[in-house]
Amino acid sequence: MAEAVAEFVHDGESLAIEGFTAFICFAAGHEVIRQQRRDLTLIRMTPDAIYDQMVAAGVASGLVFSYLGNPGVGPLHCIRRAVEKGVPRRLEVEEWSHGGMVARYLAGASGLPFYPLRSYAGTDLPAVNPLIRFIDDPYGSQPIAVVPPLMPDVAILHAQRADAEGNTHLWGLVGVQKEVAFAAQKVVVVVEEVVPAEVIRSDPNRTLIPGFKVDAVVLEPYGAHPSYVQGFYDRDNEFYLEWNRVSRDPETTEMWLEEWVYGVADRAAYLAKLGGGVRERLRPRPEPAAAVDYGRYP
Amino acid sequence: MVVAAARALAGVQRVFVGVGMPNVACNLARHTVSPELELVYESGVYGARPDRLPLSIGDPTLVTGSTATVSMADLFALYLQAGHIDVAFLGGAQIDRFGNLNTTVIGDYRSPKVRLPGSGGAAEIATSARSVFVMMRLSPRSFVETLDFVTSPGHLTGGEARADLGLPGAGPELVVSDLALFDFANPEREMQLTSLHRGVTRDQARAAVGWKLRAAGVVAETPEPTPEELHLLREVLDPGGLYSR
């Protein structure tokens, strides 16, 4: 992880650590904080606790997003402080909606100059985000909103497994992981398991990211905690509730970062500190799917 | 409030759900008036059957045992934008008389007094869901004359404004609050009082709204929850009383 972050995440660039509630690579976010990156433009649909932590740590000068909540719990207090008071530093925000960001990634992923969607008409967002435009439907009469492509300099995407070439299997809330992998200039895939190519090839429908789009594969078990990986571990909902409390105050936030980010060398040390009790609490029961037979054809 | 919302889902097939009260209401409806109801989540789940009350819309329990788990691109385009969501629940910090919603800022956008979470999927949901039900507690701080920011389009400036702008869904049709129910069934598409909950007076409802509240020709009394509905809520769906008190 340390090598991947050192090689691929640079000051002043745009970074997308995506995952819609699931597959959020907190291990990568913490390493970016430890390596003291600066002036990053952070891109996520919902910043989640990961960007709340990274903004508090001072790595970001910009944020591209569509929802500023701690999902199901409340606001993201550190980001709110940055936006309302410029603490710890001013944050330039570029605001969209979920549908708009999905459309932007689709445009970026598929080499298109823009993407249309049914949204924004009758709202105030276009007035504060001039990148939202309206064009006339060339086959009809109604205007429709269009959004420009989004192509992050680097994306760090968590998944269940990949082979050594980066061919990646993903199941559960796949969110926009695939689209971001195709839209980003550089891609780091972080996985719970590295598997032989035969495992990937045994279920090709599940290969959402092909290896040619991946610049590095990082093996980091439990790398998404407190987010989750379907089938491997649960979301740590208790943590998100606790984060709501800790992040209200800049001092307790700083103490948390000292203890859990700066105070541990890497994710392995974080896990040792987290302890077996948490991992037991987050262990799901097995629920394998019905087997799928692709057939082998002579 | 939860029971009233659940009853309004009679006959609905596909409902877009957030967490909190709408989630409990939808599950109650599945057990009562709408057994065919399928829950759709913007995180990418169609036909969710969660084993536990999800804290967030991206909870892993929504995925396991669901009918379909899809990418967000598919969810937003094929399920929502293409018009297959019968009802969506929305809420907000502020609502105006035409059902437009604000979840973006209180105060000025550039230097807000309070920075709210923003749209998430709400702008798309308000545009394309075939119908929108709003669940919000009634108060003059929330039910305001003028929104600080329009995040989600309701009936815009009223009348035919929404249709003229070509928005595909019908927009807000029901507002469920803790004191009363409202709809928009008049030519001006303006929120009107249709039912007062037991013990609530018209004056109380008017005082809780920041504009001159309109009333439907007939204002009913909201029927009380039945013992069966209460049992389902309190013993089965939400025993912790997180949302249904």
Domain boundaries, chain B: 2-237
How far is residue B154's CA from residue B136's CA, in Å, rounded to a whole number? 15
User: For residue B72, which residues of chain A lie inside 8 Å, CB to CB?
Assistant: 20, 45, 98, 102, 175-176
Residues 43-72 on B with a CB inside 8 Å of A are 43-45, 54-60, 62-65, 69-72
Amino acid identity at A51:
Y
Nearest to A22 among B60, B109, B128 (CB): B60
Domain at B2-237, CATH homologous superfamily: Glutaconate Coenzyme A-transferase (3.40.1080.10)
Nearest to A75 among B117, B150, B151 (CB): B117
CB-facing half-sphere around the CA of A277: CA atoms within 13 A: 2
Contact A51, A83 (CB under 8 A): no
Nearest to A179 among B45, B73, B120 (CB): B73
Domain borders along chain A are 2-96+151-281
Q: Is B106 on the interface with A (CB under 8 A)?
A: no
Q: What are phi and psi of A136, to 5 degrees?
A: -80, 140
The Cα angle at residue B64 between residues B62 and B67, in degrees rounded to 5? 85
According to the model, what pLDDT value does residue B245 have? 53
Average pLDDT of the segment spanning A228-242: 96
| Residue A168 CB contacts under 8 Å (≥ 6 apart), including other chains | A157, A159, A161, A162, A181, A189, A191, A207, A208, A209, A211, A214
How far is residue A145's CA from residue A118's CA, in Å, rounded to a whole number? 6
In three-state form (DSSP H/G/I as H, E/B as E, the rest C), the secondary structure along chain B is CHHHHHHCCCCCCEEECCCCHHHHHHHHHHHCCCCCCEEEECCCEECCCCCCCCCCCCCHHHHCCCCEECCHHHHHHHHHHCCCCCEEEECCCEECCCCCEECCEEECCCCEEEECCCCCCHHHHHHHCCCEEEECCCCCCCECCCCCCCCECCCCCCCCHHHHCCCCCCCEEEEECCCEEEECCCCCCCCEEEEECCCCCHHHHHHCCCCCCEEEEEEEECCCCCHHHHHHHHHHHCCCCCCCC
How is chain A classified by DSSP, letter by letter? -HHHHHHH--TT-EEE---SSBS--HHHHHHHHHTT--SEEEE-SS-HHHHHHHHHTT-EEEEEES--EETTTEE-HHHHHHHHH--SS--EEEE--HHHHHHHHHHHHTT-S-EEES--TTSSHHHH-TT-EEEE-TTSSSEEEEE-----SEEEEEEEEE-TT--EE--S--TTHHHHHHHSSEEEEEEEEE--HHHHHT-GGGEEE-GGG-SEEEE-TTTTTTSBBTTTB---HHHHHHHHHHTTSHHHHHHHHIIIIITSSSHHHHHHHH-HHHHHHTPPPP-PPPP-------
pLDDT above 90: percentage of residues in chain B: 84
Say if the Cβ atoms of A125 and B20 lie within 8 Å: no
According to the model, what pLDDT value does residue A177 have? 98
Distance from CA of A175 to the nearest CA of B (A): 5
| Residue A281 CB contacts under 8 Å (≥ 6 apart), including other chains | A234
- Substitution target in A18, A21, A137, A227 with the highest count of B β-carbons within 10 Å is A21
According to the model, what pLDDT value does residue B135 have? 96
ipTM confidence score: 0.96
Residues 174-233 on B with a CB inside 8 Å of A are none
How far is residue A282's CA from residue A126's CA, in Å, rounded to a whole number? 42
User: For residue B128, which residues of chain A lie inside 8 Å, CB to CB?
Assistant: 118
Contact B17, B40 (CB under 8 A): yes
Contact B130, B85 (CB under 8 A): yes
According to the model, what pLDDT value does residue A264 have? 98
According to the model, what pLDDT value does residue A28 have? 98
**CATH architecture of structural domain A2-96+151-281:** 3-Layer(aba) Sandwich (3.40)
User: Both tokens of residue B25?
Assistant: 């209401």
Residues of chain B with pLDDT below 70 are 243-245
A175: left (phi over 0), alpha (psi -120 to 50) or beta: left
How far is residue B140's CA from residue B143's CA, in Å, rounded to a whole number? 5
Residues 13-32 on B with a CB inside 8 Å of A are 19-20
According to the model, what pLDDT value does residue A83 have? 87
